[in-house]
Amino acid sequence: MNKTTRTTVTSPITGDQYVRIDHASGLTIYVSEMEGFSTTEALFAAKYGSINTQFKTVHDTDYCMVPEGIAHFLEHKLFENEDCDVFSLYAKTGASANAYTSFEKTAYLFTCSDNYQASLEILLSFVQNPYFTPESVAKEQGIIGQEIRMTNDDPGWRVFFNMLKGLYHSHPVKIDIAGTEESIAEITDDLLYRCYHTFYNLHNMVLSIAGNCKADEVLEIADRLLKPCEDLELEMVFPEEPMSVVSAETIDYAPVGAPIFHLGIKCSPKSGYENLKAEMEAYVAMQILSNASSPLYQSLLEDGLVNDTFSSSIFNGNGYFCIIFDGESEDARTVRTRICDTIRKAQETGLDAELFDEVRKSAYGGMALDMSYVSSAANLMMNAHLNGVKPFDLLEIISKMTLEDVNNFLRNEIDPELSTLSVVMNPSADTGKEPKTNE
């Protein structure tokens, strides 16, 4: 049996600390003891999200393919056990509990102001004790089917996934996290148990807890409740994804007050530390080019092409990386042209050095401040572990970043030709132009 090891890690930049525990059970635990705080937040997460539909373990001879949406379905079902609903257990401790499934992870969490040990015992207990029956699965299929129909009616959801479908040929990131009504109809209790025992293996999970807590107390509870398990040497595979985009433009229709758009630019995916570094370089570049004080934003605003909903973001993960501009516009095609022209000009001339310093310092200050909040600290440790990096890597990257780094990313990684414009508008607002496509 493996031994439990414990390490205290201190940021050389801010002096913040966390304790990393590599538990004998196979679980990695992070604890941030934050003096002066009365609240505690804990997250128990599996590296398992909607994109993980093909996998194999050391015991499998070939890859297993499961229905889209099963990770989200499993998250819903895990809150029910044979005796009662988990939320009723949390109600007795006074904790606020929740869970969510994203593209790459499923997390179960609680926040509380006292007696965190009792809530932590609930968290570790119910996540390790699945209970599925054919009857409960059939009931959940109806509930999640209704949820899928509701999100399909959400213009904001549709404009985002239409963009992903325009960018990605094969990667499952283009599939709705909840799946489809057809895919969830294929889910059985046996499939749920298989996915549970594969992905909810403690070697594929992390426990992150921050705030009014003590590492010794967390370790005592972990020693009592964690169930040691075999490392399944889990492998996940994704279809080969070309760098080309599927279509240059997608128009969809819904009853919206104003047309909404997402412009996505496809970049080459990275992993681990390089992914985090590229994400931060992309973030700084986009802030310089498109934040509220940028010439691009001001000109778009003055010409009535956008309003204060305009923003940019980075969307990246295992096998995907894109830059997104979004907002409301009556003429999204012109907005697209302006954005792409601005990027091309910046690639030629380089980014402004003074603006780089301002954005980098602002980003650094915001990240350092975030680490002083309980929820941010807990999420930082969880996300870093699941992404294959260390919690303090983010500050290190931004502190060492140079203008040359950002300019190199802008020139070498961003190609406006690899873009998709997704628009959702009222049918009466259509310009009558045919959507453009790239074959």
Contact indicator for 134, 73 with CB cutoff of 8 Å:
no
For 13, 14, 35, 95, 191, the CA distances from 10, given in Å and listed in that order, are 9, 8, 15, 29, 42
Q: Which of the residues 33, 41, 68, 75 is marked catalytic?
A: 75
For 96, 117, 125, 130, 403, the CA distances from 83, given in Å and listed in that order, are 20, 22, 13, 12, 58
- Outline where 153-271 has alpha helix (H): 155-167, 181-184, 189-199, 215-225
User: For residue 67, what is the enclosing H or E element?
Assistant: none
Output Rg (C-alpha) for the chain, integer angstroms: 23
On the CB side of 201, CA atoms within 13 Å amount to 17
Three-state SS at 224: helix
For 23, 49, 194, the CA distances from 360, given in Å and listed in that order, are 37, 31, 45
Helix pair 155-167, 134-152: axis angle to 10 deg:
90
User: Does 75 qualify as catalytic in the annotation?
Assistant: yes
Tokens of 16: 């913040």
**Which residues belong to the active site?**
75
